[in-house]
Each structure stands twice: as C-alpha cells, then as structure tokens.
C-alpha cells in the first residue's frame, strides 16, 4: 500500500473552495431558517386553526423525511413541476432550508412553550397586548433556552450540507470525492475529507457544549 499524501496539498485550493461553500451553505441556510422557524412557530401559536394546522403539517412532513430524499426530490422534481431551472446550489439550499426551518420551529415552539403561563398573564394584567407580552417578556426568556438547541442544529446542518454533494453541488464532500475519482488516491482523499470535517466540526461541537453549560436552564 503506497500512500501519496501530497495529493491533498496539491488540491488544497480546491478543497478550500469546497470548504468555503460548505460554510456558505450553512450560514445562508441558518440565516433563512431561523426567521422561518420563528414564523412557523408563531403560526402554531396563533389561534387560527388553518394557519396552525398548516404549520403543524409542514413540520411533521419535514421531520419525517430523510433529508437526502428531499434533496433528490427538489432537484429532479422542481424543474418539472415548477417549470423553472434552478442551479444545484439553489436547489440544495432550498432543501436544507425547508428541512432546518421545520426543526427550528419545533425548537422555538418548545422554548416559548416552556415559559410559565403566569408570566404572560402578569404582562396581560398590566395592560400589555399579547404581542407586547411576547416581545418583552416571553421571547427574551425563551431565547436563553432556544440558543443552545439552535447551536446544536447548526452543527447538524453543517454536517448535513454534505448531502447536497449527491446533486453535484461543489461543497467539501463533493470536491473531495471528485478529486478522489480523478486521482485514484482514495484513502488519502477520503481521510483528508474526514479530517477537514473533523477539524471544523469538533470546535463547533465543543462550543455547543459550552453554550449548553452556560445557558443551562435554571428554574
């Protein structure tokens, strides 16, 4: 078994680009999926049955589908169904956003729901409107509980971006595997791929742990 690790250094620029795309996908998805998650959570709390039902259905739907299937479905079906041609990147982004928004909405729903009813009642008794009570009293307290979970979701998302490689989006996994096919240096490239994910993911996971400790729920 002859290993040639130089192939990794030779292709460092390409790998760096792939890594960058992974990070971009993660950041942009979260930027969309966090507000989307709040909106969907609010829909479930609204008294309107149609809105609440639609939101609940959306969440249940995406919680119960493998993300890779959503990626394929988006890629093959949307051009046909909507008669629009999206790039692989956009398609992958959409699939990720749909998926993560659902999980985020559950996070916000649980966070908001964990605030004692009495807090809202005290605010209402003082004459605040429901929205003012939410803004001043409930959401700030919920934020403490929501942040660690959002951080965990972020790390999961970071890993899940690898799935859009199956529709040829040039993030890290796709790039590494492409170089592998071209150079036939399988062990080196795949190990390098794992090592890069590890190097980026490990500190993020530790950060999440720290957040969980720091913002630990004290009743």
Partner 1 sequence: MDIDLSPLVDSWQYLVDGLGVTLLLSALTVVCSLALGFAIGLARCYGPAWLRWSVVFYIDSMRSIPVLVVLVWTYFAFPILTGVTLPPFWAALVALTAHIAAYVAEIVRAGIGSVRPGQTRAALALGLSRAQTVREIILPQSVVRMLPAFGSILSIAIKDTAIAAVIAVPEYMKQSETVAGQSFRPFEVFTGAAIVYFLILFPITRLVDMVYVRLAHLGKS
Partner 2 sequence: MSAPLILLYRDVRKRFGDFEALAGVSMEVRRGQVMCLIGPSGSGKSTLLRCTNGLETLDGGEILVDGVRLARDERGLREMRRRMGMVFQNFELFPHKTVLANVALAPRIVLRMDEAAAHERARGLLDKVGLTDKAESYPANLSGGQQQRVAIARALAMEPEVMLFDEPTSALDPETIGEVLTVMKRLAEEGMTMIVVTHEMTFARRVADWVVVFERGLILEQGPPAQIFDAPKVERTREFLSHLGWEG
Please give the residue ranges that form the binding site for partner 2 (CB under 8 A).
Answer: 116, 118-119, 121-130, 132, 136-137, 140-141
* CB-nearer residue toward partner 1: 68 or 115: 68
Contact 208, 151 (CB under 8 A): yes
- Total residues in contact with partner 1, by rule CB under 8 A: 41
* CB-nearer residue toward partner 2: 13 or 118: 118
d(CA 212, CA 13): 35
81 lies in the site for partner 1, by CB under 8 A = yes
Give me the 170-189 binding string for partner 1, x by CB under 8 A, dash otherwise.
---x---x--x-----xx--
Which positions lie near partner 1, rule CB under 8 A?
1, 60-61, 63-69, 72-73, 76-77, 80-81, 155, 159-163, 165-166, 173, 177, 180, 186-187, 190-191, 193-194, 197-198, 200-202, 204-206
């Amino acid at each position: 078994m002859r290993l040639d690790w130089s192939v990794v250094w030779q292709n460092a620029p390409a790998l760096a680009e792939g890594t960058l795309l992974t990070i971009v996908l993660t950041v942009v998805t979260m930027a969309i999926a966090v507000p989307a998650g709040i909106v969907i959570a609010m829909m479930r709390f609204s008294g309107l049955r149609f809105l609440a039902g639609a939101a609940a259905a959306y969440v249940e739907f995406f919680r119960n589908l493998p993300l890779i299937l959503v990626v394929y479905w988006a890629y093959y079906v949307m051009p046909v169904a909507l008669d629009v041609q999206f790039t692989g990147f956009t398609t992958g982004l959409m699939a990720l956003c749909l998926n993560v928004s659902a999980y985020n909405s559950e996070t916000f729903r649980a966070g908001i729901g964990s605030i004692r009813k009495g807090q809202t009642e005290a605010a209402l008794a003082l004459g605040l409107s429901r929205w003012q009570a939410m803004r001043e009293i409930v959401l700030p307290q919920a934020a403490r509980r929501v942040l660690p979970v959002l951080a965990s979701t972020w790390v999961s998302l970071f890993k899940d971006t690898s799935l859009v490689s199956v529709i040829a989006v040039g993030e890290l996994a796709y790039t590494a595997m492409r170089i592998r096919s071209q150079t036939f240096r399988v062990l080196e490239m795949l190990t390098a791929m794992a090592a890069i994910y590890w190097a980026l993911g490990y500190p993020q996971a530790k950060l999440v742990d720290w957040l969980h400790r720091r913002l630990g729920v004290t009743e």
